[in-house]
Chains A and B, each alone.
Chain A
Amino acid sequence: MSQSRELHPIINYGVVPILQLVLAFAVAGLLIVLIGQNPVQAVQLYVTDVLLSPVGIGQSIYYGTTLMFTGMAVALAFHAGLFNIGGEGQGLVGGIAMTGIALLMMGHFTGDVGLLVPGFLAVPLLFIFAALGGAAWAAIPGYLQAYRGSHLVITTIMFNAIAFSLVLFLLTGWFQNPETPGDPKSPLYPESWWLWKLGDYFQYQLVGLEAQYQEFKDAGLKVKDIKAQHAEFWEQRSLARSMKNSAANVSFLFALLLAVGFWFFVWRTKWGYAIRAIGFNQTAARYGGVNVPRTMVMTVCLSGALAGLAMTNIILGNGSDSEHVLRETGLVGLGFVGIAVALMGRNHPFGIILAALLFGSLFQWGEVIQLKGQFIRPKLDIDKEIVVALQGLVVLFTGALYLMVVWGVQWFARRVLGGWGFAKEEVGEERA
């Protein structure tokens, strides 16, 4: 007699994650109290400067975009029962491949700039190379796992270290920007290859606004006069000035499309079927005619390709005009945070989008705490690494202690709510 004690999907996918978050925030709040600071102030900053501020939202989307790529990378491998924690390394090598082809087109190696093609040709090529680089770097650990039984967790961690050394080697040699000999970074990508970002729109708008401003000045108006007489104009100008570097860019839309594609691939194609079959039960998959090792390698490669794609957002979509370069920092840790995103998003693209945006906003929160904490009164003296602690706590509650929360909710539903909140029971009958 089979029996289930499953929670209703709404509770399982809605209430449980929120509860996990609340717990993580509560423990992080305790940490802040322990270091003698005021958690309420920290939360206030999160609300006013991240959730309710256009700049904060834009930056959250920017970080969230990278996290959608890395989160989907982890999730895809999870569906095959594999744990790819090599996102950082795969991102770096994706960046290397992409920068390699970019530098070739820029004439960095040959001095010939004849290949400096326009963005609509170059950008797709750069995306493809980023994906290929990530896939290639994942292929080796994937092969070792599938055919040699070397554990993917171990090999991908080692490959992260190798990729880091490789990128440093290149950035101090072949890929080195000749203008900055002491700073290991690649030459700046040409502006026409940068991705359209939200900031571009405001920059464009700002041209007109600044001209208008100059007109007001020329007409002899003081700043406070302008503020008083042209409040709407003034607001627009302030917004444009703060948003002109907003890094949220078109790859967010690309990532959303990719998320839909991810869903279709995993749940609506024979390849996704094979991947999930392997993840649940390798023997059954083999029985079902799936070539298990080959599918594993393909899955890890696709996962690496997604991690490689994340680098396009870091390099081509950067908010800072001088940072459209390859650096050894690669995904700046967002490859690892992708694990948390996948865990929290339950390996489903919809969940991953939400979790990526959440973690993106946490990332931005860390920046705000760092930058603004010093200037508010009373001073908020918290290092931005508190966000890393918070991320760790989210992973703890959504991953390691996932069942603790579920059991807690089940207990509550059973004992306090009298069985309300459980999925409707549908059990196979015994009789034939």
Chain B
Amino acid sequence: MTNLAIELNSISKSFGPVQANKDIDLAVETGTIHGIVGENGAGKSTLMSILYGFYVPDEGSINVFGEPLEFNSSQKAIEAGIGMVHQHFMLGEPFTVLENIILGAEGGFLLGGAMSKARKALLDLSERYGLSVDPDAVIGTLPVGVQQRVEILKALYRGAKVLILDEPTGVLTPQEADALFDILRSLKEQGTTILLITHKLHEIMDVTDRVSVIRRGEMVGHRETAATSPEELAELMVGRKVLLEVDKAPAQPKDVALSVRNLDYVDERGIQRLSNVSFDVKAGEILGVAGVSGNGQAYLLEVLSGMHTATGGAITINGEPLASTPDTVRGQSIGHVPEDRQHMGLVTSFPAWESGILGFQASALYCNGGAMKTKAIKDAMGALMEKFDVRPPNPLLGTAKFSGGNQQKIVLAREIDKAPDVLLVGQPTRGVDIGAIEFIHRQIIAMRDAGAAILLVSVELEEVLSLSDRVVAMFDGFCSPDRITAETDERSLGLLMAGEFERTTSEGMAA
């Protein structure tokens, strides 16, 4: 057992009464790609934060290449050869690649020496691992996939022999993700050890050698990737059998409920966020919007829900033009499950019963003149929480105290309960555990079958493909022509997501 890169011995960590990690053992062999999967909140991030020196565990020890690691110091972790690529990049956008790489390792008052040394080292690294990056390019101008490469180079420049990647593909197109995996494989060939944290099972199957599953703070299994299957892993993650495929009958589309024509949106800073977007959603069908995060999907939802006003084009709801503010749009029978429940869909400091009426606080349902019908609201919310399986179904509990999946169910319950004609759904299962995903998907399908027109925006390609009846992709504010979901696949959708479709602005110019 001498060739272990990382060895965790019975690591435990609790926050107050919550046990985030319980007696965790993990052995990662040098020169392998080791996957760690688990649901959100299972304790993956805590574990990696301990490894990287952000937290001190209550118990246990860590060895890196046979040497014990001192806790609570990222500096020590870096010296021991651990490098971390965070989910959200830690890069200075106005800086060049080179400047970012030496950031924190300048070594003295004058930059000149460090810069030329880093330039040489960077070229060496690029050549050795096939990671080509222009050292003088400004980060902000680079595509996300390349920025991630810079993060990796930054870690390697600091002498990382073990690379931890936290949900690295969340922001990438399938093609970019493939490119990343190629890089990871070549890093492995050069002897680098890689820890890949993800909740996407197909990535684990694709690229890892071994995989460890974490559930509710405990390691529930270590498997050779070649000897396991996605079904087995999903079962380990959740603790029971999970339906990965969504079960749904063919759609019965009726009249067009939501129609968008040549929609433009330029934000307050003058940046064009949506360009010439056109599509229809019929009652009784789900239109999926695929795309890498940040290509205008968020703005699309916010314009359609009345939070921003379109600067061009036409939006009609059942033939009527869209109203102009969130409350009047709600009056047109449009429900909106926002992408970001924490910052938009809920007021996390409110108790659940107050969050559960957000958007409807002034409606006669909950309000008598100006006074709120407190008791009626609490009772109604308790019943609704039971119905949507929110746990615990206690409307008095603070919204922030519910897990991500249960918070999402509160939002869904609120919006679906009003039986809107049109439902806008953004990232319905982001940060939601697998068990709850199944439930949420069933609810959305049930809405469709009840005759609602549903616009589903998700960065999870699998989700878009399994839920929607038709699908479009967004790229740089443009919207692709639609495809019948049943007749398309990940690869061709990936091309649309990368902007491989004809893009013309509302003025008829090619983009």
- Stretch of A40-48, A274-282, A326-334 that contacts chain B: A274-282
Whether B31 sits at the interface, judged by CB under 8 Å, is no
- Whether the pair A284, B343 counts as a contact (CB closer than 8 A) is yes
Is A118 an interface position by the 8 A CB rule? no
Judge whether A270 and B347 touch: CB under 8 Å: no
User: Known contacts A289-B327, A430-B39, A430-B405; is A270 also within 8 Å of B362 by CB?
Assistant: yes
- Is B111's beta carbon under 8 Å from chain A? no
- With A2-B400, A270-B372, A284-B358 already in contact, the answer to whether A289 and B325 are too (CB < 8 A) is yes
A1 partner, pick from B18, B307, B336, beta carbons under 8 A = B18
B283 within 8 A of A: no
Interface string of A285-320 (1 = CB under 8 A from B): 111111100000000000000000000000000000
- Indicate the size class of the contact surface on chain A: 20 to 34
Per-position contact with B for A319-349: 1 when CB-CB < 8 Å, else 0?
0000000000000000000000000000000
Complex contact B406–A429 (CB within 8 A): yes
Q: Choose from A264, A268, A269, A284 the contact partner of B347 (Cβ within 8 Å).
A: A284
Within B393-452, which residues are at the interface with A (CB < 8 Å)?
394, 397, 400-403, 405-407, 409, 433, 435-436, 438-439
A414 (CB) vs chain B CBs: closest residue: B16
Q: Which among A3, A274, A426 is the interface contact of B15 at CB below 8 angstroms?
A: A3
- CB pair B345–A2 under 8 Å, yes or no, is no
| B345 close to A274 (CB less than 8 A) | no
- From A283, A285, A287, A432, B305 is in contact (CB under 8 Å) with A287
Chain B residues near A268: list those with CB within 8 A.
Answer: 371-372, 374
* A to B contact number (C-beta, < 8 Å): 132
Whether a CB of chain B sits under 8 angstroms from the CB of A234 is: no
Please tell me if the beta carbons of B435 and A277 are within 8 angstroms of each other in the complex.
no
The minimal Cβ–Cβ distance linking A292 to chain B, given in whole angstroms, is: 10
Residue contact A280 to B347, C-beta cutoff 8 Å: yes
User: Is A284 in contact with B345, judged by CB distance below 8 angstroms?
Assistant: yes
Interface size class of B (residues with CB under 8 A): 35 or more
- Which residues on B sit within 8 Å (CB–CB) of A281? 343, 347-349
- Residue A5 lies at the interface, judged by CB distance under 8 Å to chain B: yes
B481 → chain A closest CB, angstroms: 30
Q: Which residues of B contact A3 (CB under 8 A)?
A: 15-18, 20
- Bound CA span A428–B347, Å: 16
Contact B345–A432 (Cβ < 8 Å)? no
Does B57 belong to the interface (CB within 8 Å)? no
Closest Cβ of chain A to B433, distance in Å, is 6
A281 to B407, CA, bound (A): 16
Q: A3-B18, A284-B343, A285-B347 are in contact. Are A430 and B403 (CB under 8 A)?
A: yes
B361 on interface, CB distance cutoff 8 Å: yes
| 8 Å CB contact of B372 from A273, A285, A286, A289 | A273
Q: A269-B370, A274-B361 are in contact. Are A425 and B307 (CB under 8 A)?
A: no
Proximity bits, A63-95, B CB within 8 Å = 1, else 0: 000000000000000000000000000000000
Q: B residues within 8 Å of A by Cβ?
A: 15-18, 20, 39, 41-43, 216-217, 238-239, 305, 307, 325-327, 330, 336, 338, 343-350, 354, 358-359, 361-362, 367, 370-372, 374, 389-392, 394, 397, 400-403, 405-407, 409, 433, 435-436, 438-439
Can you list 8 A-B contacts (CB < 8 A)? A1-B217, A2-B401, A3-B17, A270-B370, A281-B349, A283-B344, A422-B16, A432-B389
Please give me the 5 A-B residue pairs with the lowest Cβ-Cβ distance, nearest first.
Answer: A289-B327, A428-B402, A3-B18, A432-B436, A432-B435
